[in-house]
Amino acid sequence: MKLKDKDNQFEYLMYVHVPENPSTDQVLTTNMMGSYFIAKRFREIWPNLVYSVVGATSILLADDNYILPKKDDIKKILKESLIDMYKYTVHSFDCDDYSLLAHAFIVQERYKIKKNKLEKKQPWAFGQAWGSKFNGKEVSHAVNICYTQDEGIIFIEPQTDKIWRANSEQDKVIFIRM
């Protein structure tokens, strides 16, 4: 459902049910609130934040410098992860959760490598990417992204470990976090 907030400051698409005339007090249950209302509360505190499931474009890089790993190093570490043991559950454990776990696993493994070797302390250029099209398939989805020294920018499907090179025609990214 396409909505416009009453301040007309941003538009976005919602994938959860939002009433036609949303009340700021409406909740889905006593312990669950729709993303529209959560974003509205955040914006009450930080009005400069933009909320958008689809349509926003953001790059969030938390560190000043990143090491570009080799594609095979990424493949090797992800193969060791147990992320694929989790069962996909719509709205509970889905693509953004897989992407988050894969990102966290890489950070954790990178920490172990830095601790045990005399290697530069910077993180790997590995993170999460959200978008509306990946590998040619139109779908709102979250995957992992990595800037490698040998393959350039690649995407990793954390549910299957499938890897492909980024392509502006085949991949429409709206958010990247490293």
Convert the pLDDT of each residue in 118-164 to its tens digit. Answer: 456 778 899 999 999 999 999 899 999 999 999 999 999 999 999 99
Q: Which domains does the chain have, with CATH numbers?
A: 2-45 (no CATH), 58-177 (3.30.460.70)
pTM value is 0.72
Convert the pLDDT of each residue in 86-101 to its tens digit. Answer: 888 887 789 999 999 9
Q: Which residues pair with 93 in a beta bridge?
A: 89
Q: Interhelix angle for 71-80 vs 95-116, to 10°? A: 110
